[in-house]
Amino acid sequence: GAAMAAAVRDVEIDPEGTFKYILVRLQRPGGEERRDIVRGTKAAEFHNHIFEKVNPEMEKLGYECKCLGGGKIDHNSKDKKIRVFGLSTGYGKADHSVTVEILKKVYTDYEITWSDDKK
């Protein structure tokens, strides 16, 4: 229910640095309810490492996961700036504009931009 959904944060990313991220769609099997979440960390060498961690967590909560693509996030907490760019070789490029909208919900006082640049 709602409590379980609330347990899933819209965004979980590292507080600083440049790292890979993925955009993941959660859906209740056979249900209408769906939401997109952003996950990114320096700990992941490849995009699928992030998905392999998120997927079982979400399945436990009763969601089906689908990776909508990936990219990179440059998080500068000092200047309160986030840049979304790049792509995932395995999953393709996420819709960075969607990612930015999700990030804005959490980092309300940040300047958040995106581009299709590789670097």
Pairing state between β 11-13 and 64-76: unpaired
The catalytic position among 47, 49, 75, 96 is: 47
End-to-end CA distance of the chain: 40
Buried b (16+ CB within 10 A) or exposed e, 18-42: bbbbbbbebeeeeeeeeebbbbbbe
Please report how many Cα atoms fall inside a 13 Å half-sphere around the Cα of residue 77, on the Cβ side.
5
Both structure tokens of 33: 């309810």
Active site residue 47: yes
**Residue 93 assigned ligand-binding role:** no
Which parts are annotated binding residues for substrate? 20
Catalytic residues: 47
